[in-house]
Chains A and B, each alone.
Chain A
Amino acid sequence: MDKSLHKVLLGSTTLLAIGASGSVAQAATTGVPINAEIVGAIDITQTAAMNFGALTDSGAGGTAVLGTGGTITGVTGGTTSAGGTIQAGGFTLKATTGRNIDITTPATVTIDDAGAGAPMTVHSFALLAPAGGGGGNNTGTAASGAALVASLSAATVTGFSVGGTLVVGAAQAAGTYTGTVTVTALYQ
């Protein structure tokens, strides 16, 4: 009887051992990599308004080009520059350094004199980045606007400038015309 019991117990032990080793073989593991890139939010701040200064027109209409350097670089038609305060638009960009940032403008905007005269169009915006912002420049077109890729060498870089082309209509009414252009900056 003792021997019989001993054999049965041995058998049970063997079965348990097989069961235990079977459970180990039925487990599997893998590692899942987790990634995230965190960058500083882009902060774009206007430092100067675009100003075409004073213009005169013969009544035939024409164009005036405001360069990113802050001067009227060309006029056409009956439009001429008459001085005044002329300046390119300016802004400061704050972002993570070393990352490409797309800066864009709309294709066109309109400016008006509070409804007294017909609005005028500003198009072909131009963007210039200072050396610390990548140094690039691009003059856009009336169809697509300007696009520039900047990359900051410091967390905050000042000296970005914006130019554009103003279209003066024939028999454009005299007045002070104002409007806004939105400059957008996004990481690539």
Chain B
Amino acid sequence: MLGTSKKRSLVKPLVASALVSLSCLTSQAIRNAIASTATLPITVRLIRAVEITLDASLDFGTLAMTTDRAGTARMDTSLNRLVIDSNSSLSLSGGTPQVGRFIVKGSLYPVTVSVEETSVQLTNGVDTVTVNSFNLMTGDGGARVTVMPQIGQNSFTVPVGASLATKAGQLDGTYVGATRIFANFQ
């Protein structure tokens, strides 16, 4: 029994080897028969990752309000100042109103900059006030703009303005909030 078993185990590797050799020969034959070459172009566009950093917060300053009626104050990015409506409800009474500014660093490719939310509620912990109508770059730029950096320019500043709308009976206080700004290569 032992002798027979050894013979079978020897035969199996031989058979396997034969099959492998046959397979290789077959594969070689096929490859030779259909051999061809192709040149695949390889390209890569390396671009500097977009960086966006805050340069200045958006600040409406100190607004004195006649509480019996609503009012609107707009930080205009084109004029770079606060513009108050003619409703005689609000007046600038101090503080330092300023347009928000952030710096986008990238490379010479168009960058799309956008504001996350169209309306933001600022809060003083008790009451809220609405900030909306965001504008990037210019006074009527809207909440999404595409900027093409100039040659030799690897960063640019994006001003952001918005409108603040008070309501009748608005409570006094320091109101704070935030929105996110996105920058993406096109």
Contacts and interface: CB of A to CB of B under 8 A. Distances in A.
Contact of B64 (A11, A35, A42): A42
B57 A33 contact: yes
A34 interface: yes
Contacts of B50: 26-28
A91 interface: no
B47 A26 contact: yes
Contacts of A37: 60-63, 94-95, 173-175
A32 B63 contact: no
B60 A35 contact: yes
Contacts of A25: 49
A1 to B, nearest CB: 8
Interface stretch (B1-9, B15-23, B141-149, B158-166): B158-166
A41 B164 CA distance: 17
Contact of A30 (B34, B49, B52, B63): B52
Contacts of A36: 59-61, 63, 73, 122, 129, 131, 164, 174-175
A18 to B, nearest CB: 9
A30 B178 CA distance: 10
Interface residues of B, number: 53
A143 interface: no
Interface in A143-188: 186-188
B39 interface: no
Contacts of B58: 32-35
Summarize A's interface: helix, strand, loop or mixed.
strand
B122 A34 contact: yes
Nearest to B48: A26
B54 to A, nearest CB: 5
Sort A-B residue pairs by CB-CB distance and give the 9 closest, nearest first. Answer: A36-B60, A33-B57, A28-B52, A28-B50, A26-B185, A187-B93, A37-B62, A41-B64, A30-B52
Interface of B: 34, 40, 47, 49-54, 57-67, 73, 91, 93-95, 100, 102, 104, 120, 122, 124, 129, 131, 160, 162, 164, 166, 170-185
Given A41-B91, A42-B93, 16 more contacts: A26-B47, A26-B185, A28-B50, A32-B57, A33-B57, A33-B177, A34-B58, A34-B179, A35-B60, A36-B61, A36-B122, A36-B129, A37-B63, A38-B170, A39-B62, A186-B93
25 contacts: A11-B40, A26-B50, A27-B184, A27-B185, A28-B49, A29-B181, A31-B179, A31-B180, A32-B160, A32-B179, A32-B180, A33-B54, A34-B57, A34-B60, A34-B162, A35-B60, A36-B60, A38-B65, A38-B170, A39-B63, A39-B172, A40-B65, A40-B67, A186-B93, A187-B94
